[in-house]
Structure 1
Amino acid sequence: MAKPILEVNDLRVSFKMYAGEVQAVRGVSFTLNKGEVLAIVGESGCGKSVTAQTIMRLNPTPPSIIKEGSSILFDGKHEITKLTNSQMEHVRGEEMGMIFQDPMTSLNPTMTIGAQISEGIRKHQKVKKVEALLRASDLLALVGISNPHERLHQYPHELSGGMRQRVMIAIALACNPKLLIADEPTTALDVTIQAQIIDLLRDIQKKTETSIIIITHDLGVVAEIAQRVLVMYAGRVVEQGYLDEIFYNPQHPYTWGLLRSVPRLDSDTKSALVSIPGTPPDLFAPPKGCAFAARCPYAMKVCTEIDPGHFRVSDTHSSACWLLHEDAPNVERPIEAGGRTHG
């Protein structure tokens, strides 16, 4: 069996603030295999973007701190948490690429598209400017931009939102990375362009066998592209498994809530969308038990006192919920197989 391209173990990341320490990521563990697409989902503030940026070592230190005992092993040889900034510069861009949320704020408005794509190629592959620009033109063609030779000389403001996002993908792919992290790559785009970007990522993944982590709160995007899913809440993974396991056999009340909040077009019944009541906990002082207990209609006394840990549903599926304990009462979950809601 092939070794995973990425192994994250007990990752804990905090931010030192004047008011105290924000525990943004609290013991996240997962693996990513070669050529696999993993989605990390959850509402805003759950720690998914901090997790992704920590893998790339993009969080400024200070105020961010990677806690002792955290491990991010990349390609079986790079312990990301131990690399110096100089060593990390060789990994970032060359072996890992990242697509950011908002291309308009990520692209440099004073540089041409060609200069921004070729910059990483020249740095990591030590080629001349002309050769780097030819490679940049090929990348623009790969991501579906017409007239790539002309686009090389344009500036970000001259392109549409969808084209700017394609440029961001081209920059991330410039050095043929083994790992591509896409942080909410479709958030600022309209539905039609979103579908095109997802199709593009799927096509690139098949052609290059690049492993992809996609960060999103959109379960529709997850269903289109992911093979495995991590559900995060309050800095922790509360459920993980293959796509079908999460969508057709969800086990955590938070996952049920996420699925119930998504509109469905394949159901004859007209059921209202259900929001999750309450707000996430303050990560200055996280609760000692299950972080979701205060918002969970099935919470028991043990939920507020003891962290449940992960219960194994199958060899590939686990959930951090006391309802899976053998002594827990049986509850009728409000969501059927396939994500259909009751009522």
Structure 2
Amino acid sequence: MSKLLEIKDLYFSFDTFQGEVEAIRGINFEVNKGEVVALVGESGSGKSVTSQAIIGLNPMPPGRYKQGSINFDNKDLTSISEKEFQKIRGAEVSMIFQDPMTSLNPTMKIGTQITESLIKHQGMSKSEAKQRAIEMLGLVGIPNPDKLIYSYPHQFSGGMRQRVMIAIALACNPKLLIADEPTTALDVTIQAQIIELMKGLQDKLHTSIILITHDLGVVANIAQRVVIMYAGKIVEQGTLNEIFYESRHPYTWGLLESVPRLDSKEHGRLASIPGTPPQLIDPPKGCPFAERCEFAMKACIEEFPEETTLSSSHKVSCWLEDPAAPTVERPVQSGGHV
């Protein structure tokens, strides 16, 4: 598969009154054409900052690209102007945000919000853009789209608004779609419908997708590869099967064990990872997960581990991979049926 996006040694910081917040600290991953890659981690792990760095939506200042590159379709996005970004956003890279009610303009009709990008990026006439908007609303499962294009966002349910957001994002046939926790504000039934919709559209349109989530149950249904982030770093990445069944980082194990399971003997009790992520205004010099890790050693506190390549797709940064480290048995339940 050919690469569409390649992020190399990316550092992104925010300058605040208290000091520098190192939100992204040297991450490396890629997205191939037609592939779905999931970025997974707790709140504050750097997932959304990464996605907004790709599309140039982090406010600068206080944000800034500190080091590294974001190569999208043979163009480094860290060195282009805001004017160039405006040509790319919506046309080549689109984004679905967490809450459609705050992302959609409450004063504009749904149809207008879809057609404006078509007129700007595709050069369509108003009548052509309107017809395309109706087609897109039908494609994402909105009934009677020829009538509902004249409706306002408040007249739709949460699930319908998210479908409208997907229609807007896909209207110009972008090469890359970034979905930032697209099911967070929805109930479980609607979540499943939205994921099925995205799967169907991805199969049909062959759009590459970066799915940002903390829910591994969602990941299991759509992603081909998974990138695990923690405290601005990537601690493990691999194919879906490698992460669910052969994961090697204790943080990944913790995330997997926190997924509700029907076959669990601990009825009514969910596993959790004790402690909280570190503050990135003063990040630890060692492994950022060390304070919360039951397997932490002295080396974990003192230095961040080098990345270990386990296969062509599976990589992990953990001192447990060092030949001198004690043997640790992987928790049995990790990677079970989700």
TM-score, shorter chain, exceeding 0.5:
yes
Matched, 1:206 2:206: no
Q: Could you tell me how far 1:334 is from its partner in structure 2?
A: 2.4
Matching residue of 1:307: 304
Contact 1:56 1:92 in 2 (8 A): yes
Could you tell me how far apart the structure 2 residues matched to 1:119 and 1:74 are?
A: 24
Aligned AA for 1:159? F
Deviates more, 1:2-11 or 1:171-180: 2-11
8 A contact 2:13–2:65 mirrored in 1: yes
- Name the counterpart of 1:74: 72
Structure 2: distance between partners of 1:93 and 1:65: 22
TM value normalised by structure 1: 0.96
Q: Which runs of 5+ in 1 are unaligned?
A: none
Which residue of the partner structure matches residue 137 of structure 1?
A: 134
State the match for 1:49 in structure 2: 48
Instruction: For residue 60 of structure 2, give the secondary structure of its aligned residue in structure 1.
Output: coil
CA contact (8 A) 2:11 2:25 kept: yes
Give 3-state SS (helix, strand or coil) of 1:105's partner.
Answer: helix
Q: In the aligned structure 2, how far is the partner of 1:337 from the partner of 1:16?
A: 38
Name the structure 1 match of 2:61. Answer: 62
Unaligned 5+ residue runs, structure 2?
none
Distance (whole Å) between structure 2 residues aligned to residue 144 and residue 288 of structure 1: 49
Per-residue deviation at 1:331?
1.4
1:178, 1:210 within 8 Å by CA — same for their partners in 2?
Answer: yes
The one-letter amino acid of 1:218's match is: D
| 1:291-339 deviation line (CA, Å, top 9, x unaligned) | 0001101000000001102111222101110001111101123234633
Amino acid at match of 2:23: A
The answer to whether the 8 A contact 1:308-1:321 is kept is yes
Identity %: 61
Q: Is the 8 A contact 1:228 1:242 kept in 2?
A: yes
Secondary structure of the structure 1 residue equivalent to 2:283: coil
Look up the match of 2:238. Answer: 241
Equivalent-residue separation in structure 2 for 1:138 and 1:243 (angstroms) = 33
Q: Report the Cα distance in structure 2 between the residues aligned to 1:218 and 1:337, rounded to whole angstroms.
A: 14
User: For the Cα contact (< 8 Å) 1:248–1:336, is it kept in 2?
Assistant: no
Match of 1:153 in 2: 150
Matched ranges for 1:1-343 at <5 A:
2-68=1-67, 70-75=68-73, 77-265=74-262, 267=263, 269-270=265-266, 272-336=269-333, 338-339=335-336
Matched letter for residue 71 of structure 2: L
The answer as to whether partners of 1:71 and 1:81 remain within 8 angstroms in 2 is: yes
Native 8 Å contact 1:94 1:124 kept in 2: yes
1:45 deviates by 0.4
Give the 3-state SS of the residue equivalent to 1:314 in structure 2. coil
- Cα pair 1:13 1:24 within 8 Å, conserved: yes
The one-letter code matched in structure 1 to 2:336 is: G
Residue 203 of structure 1 and its aligned partner are, at CA, apart by: 0.3
Give the ranges of 4+ consecutive aligned residues of structure 1 lying more than 6 Å apart after TM superposition.
none
Q: Number of residue pairs matched?
A: 337
What TM-score, normalized by structure 2, do the two folds share? 0.97
